[in-house]
Amino acid sequence: MEPEYPVIDHRSAWRADKVGKQDMTIELEDRHLYAFDRALQAVHTAGIDLDDITREHFDLADIAGDVLHWRNEIMDGYGLVVLKGFPIEQHSQDDMAMIYWGLAAQIGTPMSQSMMGDRLGHVVDVAGKDPRERAYRNSTELSMHTDACDVVGMLCLQKAIEGGVSGYASAITVYNEITKRHPDLLPILFHGFYYHRFGEEQPGQAPVTEQRIPVFSLEDGYLSINYLRAYIDLACQELNQPLTDEETEALDLVDEIAHSDAIALRFITEPGEAVFFNNLTVLHNRSAFEDADEPEKKRHLLRLWLVAHQQRPTVTALRIFEGKGIAKQDGKGTYYSKDLNYDELGKGSTRASD
């Protein structure tokens, strides 16, 4: 008889004590850079703006086999790829953004990341350590979490003078570890939790989701994860419904495993490196960082949330924004000023989701 929660044997179930950044890194070659430049010139000649670039506009036929390999690695391999050697010093920031967007368009369609409607997100510190600001716009430490898309892309233009270490953990490995250590907690994680919308609800929506969103879910044999501990904690505050002892134990176990040195792969994303990862199989976080005083030396990454062209089968509850991203609302930004106890998020820290 098959166990209710079987261990999953797949390449996506990696561990940091078995693989390193080098195992997931692909060095871009001259032929890749030539293909990017040709595609860039073509969209310039056609007068196409960045927001309008699709995979058809950004023709990478000369390296189509490589791009397909990268996409397959993201969607059904390790779930994480580091592309090294983007020519950030040879291109303006605008042109580099177009190259990055054009390549990402081969994997999926960029979606809005906030109520500002920003499909190309700029990961820069505008709020210091203020946890009321979306974390891609502050410098706080982040705990392991997922975003609201299929694939996340990060291209580093400038790293921080101190800190800003990225961490990644295989959600499949986290699940496997729980099946071995504490399988009795898995029904709680599959049942899920209510999530706070952090001020991004649409007119007529409540500040907390109407349904529970599972941490782990299975669809057509594919395991996926959705995890934002800070938003679960905020929902409990908003609803005045504290977690039960068992729920707290289950979430604490996810955190403990995902942050452990044996599981979490940590590294600095260097300038000219882009990381693409499967948001449904890989958790990510970031250490706090300190910036230089000069604006041109401040930490700066370009971020994309992608709806994959070939989507992983998932339960409906994980499609929080129905593949459209966070709807733009005029006059609203990313700062959430409601008076809640932010010091209690994520087991007593100010770490939050981005």
> Lowest-confidence range among 55-59, 183-187, 290-294, 322-326?
322-326
Q: State what percent of residues in the chain have pLDDT above 70.
A: 92
The band of 22, judged by pLDDT with boundaries at 50, 70 and 90, is: very high
**Distance from C-alpha of 141 to C-alpha of 346, rounded to nearest angstrom:** 11
Query: Over the stretch 80-100, which tens digit does the pLDDT of each residue have?
Result: 999 999 999 999 999 999 999
CA distances to 7, 124, 160, 292, 298 from 295, in Å: 48, 10, 11, 7, 5
pLDDT of 201: 85
The band of 40, judged by pLDDT with boundaries at 50, 70 and 90, is: very high
Name the token pair of 241.
Answer: 């419904």
The band of 200, judged by pLDDT with boundaries at 50, 70 and 90, is: confident
The band of 320, judged by pLDDT with boundaries at 50, 70 and 90, is: confident
Distance of CA 110 to the CA centre of its chain: 13
Query: Over the stretch 280-310, which tens digit does the pLDDT of each residue have?
Result: 999 999 999 999 889 889 999 999 999 999 9
Q: What number is the average pLDDT over the span 106-135?
A: 85
Place of tokens 């505008």: 126
CB atoms inside a 10 Å sphere around CB 332: 14
The H or E element that residue 250 is part of is helix 245-259
Residues 280 and 108: beta-carbon distance below 8 Å: no
Task: Name the average pLDDT for the chain.
Answer: 92
Q: 119-134: string of b/e by CB count within 10 Å (b at 16+)? A: bbbbbbbbbeeebbbb
> Lowest-confidence range among 52-56, 138-142, 165-169, 253-257?
138-142
Q: What number is the average pLDDT over the span 188-197?
A: 97
**Distance from C-alpha of 273 to C-alpha of 155, rounded to nearest angstrom:** 6
Residue 331 has pLDDT above 70, yes or no: yes
Q: Express the helix, strand and coil content of the chain in percent, nearest 5 each.
A: 30, 20, 45
pLDDT of 322: 65
Q: What number is the average pLDDT over the span 275-284?
A: 98
Residues 285 and 145: beta-carbon distance below 8 Å: yes
- Long-range Cβ contacts of 345-350 (<8 Å, 24+ apart): 345/131, 345/229, 345/230, 345/233, 345/234, 346/143, 346/229, 346/230, 346/233, 346/255, 347/229, 347/252, 347/255, 349/141, 349/143, 350/129, 350/131, 350/140, 350/141
pLDDT of 160: 93
Phi, psi of 220 (to 5 degrees): 55, 35
Place of tokens 């898309």: 149
Distance of CA 53 to the CA centre of its chain: 22
Pairing of strands 300-308, 222-225: unpaired
Query: Over the stretch 217-246, which tens digit does the pLDDT of each residue have?
Result: 999 999 999 999 999 999 999 999 999 999
Name the token pair of 36.
Answer: 């990017």
- At 21, which amino acid appears? K
**Distance from C-alpha of 250 to C-alpha of 63, rounded to nearest angstrom:** 45
- Long-range Cβ contacts of 204-212 (<8 Å, 24+ apart): 207/238, 208/235, 208/238, 208/239, 209/235, 209/320, 211/317, 212/317
| Domains of the chain, start order | 21-317+336-348 (3.60.130.10)
Residues 214 and 226: beta-carbon distance below 8 Å: yes
Residue 73 has pLDDT above 80, yes or no: yes
Name the token pair of 273.
Answer: 């490196």
